Homo-oligomer: A and B are copies of this chain.
Amino acid sequence: MTQTNKRGRPRKFDEDETLDRIMQVFWKHGYAATSLDQIAAETGLNRPSLYGAFGSKKSMFLQALDRFSDQMHVHLREAGMSAKGANGRMKAIMSAAIDLYTGRTRLSGAPYGCLAISTLPSEAAQDPEMQAALEKMVHRMDKGFASLIRYENGTNLTEPDIQAKAQQLSLVLHGISIRARSGTDANSLKQLAYSAVDSLLPVT
């Protein structure tokens, strides 16, 4: 056991809660348009404290993104558990994602779409780290969908087919996050998503 004795002046803020607030600011305004002053105002901290806890602006953003990714995948995984069969589980996941994108969860307070899809593309072309982060997010979703299909599949689909279907579903969800950001309501999005799931993973 490492000693966890706190030396020096104690922090006035909770790191996770602060990172949640940071996430919200980036989620709304994107990366470039967010200033450290905005973040300071929203978190109640001042810039030196922010820098001490999370490093540079980019480092802060990437940490918020990781946190978003983890929380989103927990959220979707839980939703997937609540139904049966590939078709049903995928619809539940789509529904949960759309709730997230349209501001109907505790994680998302407003219809800001997907943090990654809404903010990373504008940075990806000028910053390899941002591009890598985008690629990682996309691949993580691909892998998650593939493993669900693989698990629920009655050996009907070959592995390449599984991968292809998973990518198709990711495509659809990314497109849906764009539409959520453009103002489309949750019900319309769910109709779209369900019909996409039905055509890709028909009920057996």
Q: Which residues of A contact B (CB under 8 A)?
A: 27-33, 110, 112-113, 117-119, 121-126, 131, 134-135, 138, 164, 167-168, 170-176, 178-179, 181-183, 191-192, 195-196, 199-200
CB distance from A197 to the nearest CB of B (A): 11
A170 with B181, Cβ < 8 A, contacts A32-B122, A126-B29 known: no
Neighbouring B residues of A168 by C-beta, 8 Å: 172, 192, 195-196, 199
Report copies per complex.
2
| Nearest CB in chain B to that of A110: its residue | B125
Neighbouring B residues of A170 by C-beta, 8 Å: 175
A171 with B181, Cβ < 8 A, contacts A33-B122, A164-B192 known: no
Top 10 A-B residue pairs of the complex, sorted by shortest distance between their CB atoms = A171-B175, A30-B122, A32-B32, A32-B33, A174-B175, A118-B121, A122-B122, A134-B182, A135-B182, A175-B175
A125 with B171, Cβ < 8 A, contacts A134-B182, A178-B138, A195-B164 known: no
Chain A interface main SS type:
helix
A124 with B171, Cβ < 8 A, contacts A30-B32, A32-B30, A32-B33 known: no
CB distance from A33 to the nearest CB of B (A): 4
CB distance from A93 to the nearest CB of B (A): 16
Neighbouring B residues of A32 by C-beta, 8 Å: 30, 32-33, 122
| Nearest CB in chain B to that of A116: its residue | B178
Neighbouring B residues of A124 by C-beta, 8 Å: 118, 181-182
Interface centre among A121, A138, A191, A195 (most CB of B within 10 A): A121
In the bound complex, CA of A181 to CA of B131 (Å): 8
